[in-house]
């Protein structure tokens, strides 16, 4: 059985996001269409129409931003279906919509996200994320960034645990053509020229698929997961402020994590979670060279 790993990133730019996140979620090929239909039904339930069919991409920044939470508080809880009708009117009217309709649309967005994450759990999806300190040193252009390598590693463990016939395909949001070619080249080098990459190529298709995020439900979910983790998840040495209003969504996303168990450093029951925090994006070989050069300069 094949599993798709839909991947997107959030917070890697110079904007206010506290952490960069390369996030993804895995789903069995047989479940993809049923999940898409369930999410489309959720759009109609909460917005009265297919929001993504004519009102722009359902990006996380539009669904769970601080502004959405603030606008949702313009009115007390509005029960559904009144909320749905007002949300649809707000989408139709745009900037001229009354305050209560704006509140209804914002409340609808928050309830929609909650249901989307519930749908992911219902279809046994698994979430994966490499969370990156934005001050992390970057690798050379010909090296695959560590956040990608760790994401593939966790996805590989997941596939390995499923059984001998499990296979994975990575699906990315289309980048600028130069960036897409660069990533393809880096992945090709990783899966062909590194020991771990060659091993993982037995489970993961080394050449990714690229799609338009505004047309692909799976990538939109990956974007949602990445955004929520950037702004809401904190563990280990992650000390930057978070948005507490996202706690409920963070709990839902964490329920989608995958826990693999492998022998590591003599521990036969070492737990490897599908979320990892990274403070250096360079490969081990690059860090070793940097360390040697640093020592020679002393």
pLDDT in tens, 60-80: 999 999 999 999 999 999 999
Nearest CA among 107, 134, 117, 109 for reference residue 222: 117
More confident residue, 234 or 174: 234
Nearest CA among 146, 144, 80 for reference residue 109: 80
Where would I find the H helices in 194-283? 195-200, 217-232, 247-254
Question: What pLDDT shows up at residue 134?
Answer: 87
CA distances from 123 to 132, 163, 201 (A): 28, 19, 26
In this prediction the pTM is: 0.92
Where would I find the H helices in the chain? 32-47, 51-54, 60-63, 66-72, 82-93, 99-122, 146-162, 177-193, 195-200, 217-232, 247-254, 284-296
Q: Are 73 and 32 in contact (CB under 8 A)?
A: no
pLDDT in tens, 247-275: 999 999 999 999 999 999 899 999 999 99
More confident residue, 53 or 39: 39
Q: Which residues face 132 on adjacent strands?
A: 20, 278
More confident residue, 285 or 31: 31
The mean pLDDT value for 46-73 works out to 89
Q: Which two tokens stand for residue 193?
A: 């020229």
| Whole-number Å distance between alpha carbons of 108 and 88 | 10
φ and ψ at 74, to 5 degrees?
-65, -25
């Amino acid at each position: 059985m094949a599993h798709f790993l839909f991947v997107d990133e959030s917070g890697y730019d110079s904007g206010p996001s506290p952490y960069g996140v390369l996030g993804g979620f895995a789903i069995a090929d047989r479940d993809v269409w049923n999940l898409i239909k369930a999410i489309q039904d959720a759009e109609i339930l909460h917005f009265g129409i297919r929001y993504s069919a004519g009102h722009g991409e359902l990006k996380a920044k539009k669904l769970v931003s601080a502004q959405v939470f603030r606008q949702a508080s313009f009115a007390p809880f509005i029960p559904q279906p009144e909320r749905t009708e007002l949300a649809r009117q707000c989408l139709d009217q745009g900037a001229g919509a009354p305050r209560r309709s704006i509140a209804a649309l914002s409340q609808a967005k928050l309830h929609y996200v909650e249901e989307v994450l519930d749908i992911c759990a219902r279809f046994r999806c698994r979430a994966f994320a490499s969370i990156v300190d934005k001050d992390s040193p970057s690798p050379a252009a010909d090296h695959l960034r560590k956040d990608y390598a760790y994401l593939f590693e966790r996805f590989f463990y997941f596939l390995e645990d499923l059984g001998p016939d499990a296979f994975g395909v990575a699906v990315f949001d289309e980048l600028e053509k130069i960036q897409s070619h660069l990533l393809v080249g880096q992945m090709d080098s990783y899966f062909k020229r590194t020991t771990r990459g060659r091993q993982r190529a037995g489970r993961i298709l080394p050449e990714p698929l690229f799609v338009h995020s505004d047309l692909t439900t799976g990538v939109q979910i990956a974007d949602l997961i990445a955004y929520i983790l950037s702004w809401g998840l904190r563990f280990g040495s992650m000390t930057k402020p978070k948005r507490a209003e996202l706690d409920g969504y963070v709990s839902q996303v964490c329920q989608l994590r995958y826990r693999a168990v492998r022998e590591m450093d003599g521990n036969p029951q070492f737990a490897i979670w599908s979320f990892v925090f990274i403070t250096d994006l360079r490969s081990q070989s690059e860090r070793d060279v940097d360390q040697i050069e640093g020592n020679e300069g002393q």
